[in-house]
A and B are shown apart, each in its own frame.
Chain A
Amino acid sequence: GAGVSQSPRYKVAKRGQDVALRCDPISGHVSLFWYQQALGQGPEFLTYFQNEAQLDKSGLPSDRFFAERPEGSVSTLKIQRTQQEDSAVYLCASSPGLATNTGELFFGEGSRLTVL
């Protein structure tokens, strides 16, 4: 596709359920980021991939959060045993090179997770 695609756009989960959020980056983009955006806040860094390698996962809030990008394209963010505090919009962004050099991230529209 022409842009970054995320699915599902909306997800409602009961507390304790596992969820998986998918990101299709722009074809050929090397870098892929996941951010968490709580209501009224800016995007908070979760994790970063360069191709299939997860180079930084320092922002993942707990070991319930797991991300992968096995073939260097599509990425999945998995949240196990969801809690109410996990409710947020999860943003995926990709960049053709090293994002900190090129400076431009291309964002998807996000997946809004609501945990009841």
Chain B
Amino acid sequence: AQSVTQLGSHVSVSEGALVLLRCNYSSSVPPYLFWYVQYPNQGLQLLLKYTTGATLVKGINGFEAEFKKSETSFHLTKPSAHMSDAAEYFCAVSGNDKIIFGKGTRLHILP
């Protein structure tokens, strides 16, 4: 069975600081991994995904994530936070015809 664990339900960073949102996964097969973002009053949208190939994946709005098989991790980073990054972020893993989501991390940006 597949699952994801997101460490920290709330993360606060200052504007311009590094953003790091943590995700660890469990999968019995080579995983496909995703990060989705949910802005207030909007639907979830895909930030980036890892399927095969390059382990460092770049997404929209300057975000990137690195697949580390040895650590079963897929952490999301952005070098410099912007106020518009305030949202809820969900890590997800695919398997058995469905995509399983973590509980989410709410990112707060401090001025």
What residues of chain A have their CB less than 8 Å away from a CB belonging to chain B? 3-4, 33, 35, 40-45, 48, 50, 55-56, 59, 91, 93, 98-101, 103-105, 107-110
Q: B43 contacts A45, CB within 8 Å?
A: no
- A98 neighbours in B (Cβ, 8 Å): 97
Kindly provide the distance from the CB of B58 to the nearest chain A CB, expressed in whole angstroms.
15
Q: A100 contacts B99, CB within 8 Å?
A: yes
Q: B98 contacts A56, CB within 8 Å?
A: yes
Q: B98 contacts A100, CB within 8 Å?
A: yes
| 9 A-B pairs whose Cβ atoms sit less than 8 Å apart in the complex | A42-B90, A42-B101, A44-B101, A45-B101, A59-B98, A103-B49, A104-B34, A105-B36, A107-B45
Beta-carbon nearest neighbor of B100 in chain A: A45
Known: A99-B99, A100-B95, A103-B49. A41 touches B104 (CB 8 A): yes
Q: A109 contacts B42, CB within 8 Å?
A: yes
CA distance A45 to B104 in the complex (A): 14
CA distance A2 to B6 in the complex (A): 32
- A99 neighbours in B (Cβ, 8 Å): 94, 97-99
Kindly provide the distance from the CB of B95 to the nearest chain A CB, expressed in whole angstroms.
7
Q: Which of B6, B90, B101, B104 has the most CB of A within 10 A?
A: B101
- A108 neighbours in B (Cβ, 8 Å): 43
Q: A33 contacts B43, CB within 8 Å?
A: no
Q: B99 contacts A33, CB within 8 Å?
A: yes
Kindly provide the distance from the CB of A7 to the nearest chain B CB, expressed in whole angstroms.
14
Beta-carbon nearest neighbor of A43 in chain B: B101
Known: A103-B34, A103-B49. A42 touches B103 (CB 8 A): yes
Kindly provide the distance from the CB of B41 to the nearest chain A CB, expressed in whole angstroms.
8
Kindly provide the distance from the CB of B44 to the nearest chain A CB, expressed in whole angstroms.
4
CA distance A4 to B43 in the complex (A): 9
Q: B90 contacts A43, CB within 8 Å?
A: yes
Known: A43-B44, A56-B97, A91-B44. A103 touches B104 (CB 8 A): no
Kindly provide the distance from the CB of A111 to the nearest chain B CB, expressed in whole angstroms.
11
**Is B72 on the interface with A (CB-CB < 8 A)?**
no
Q: A55 contacts B49, CB within 8 Å?
A: no
CA distance A44 to B98 in the complex (A): 11
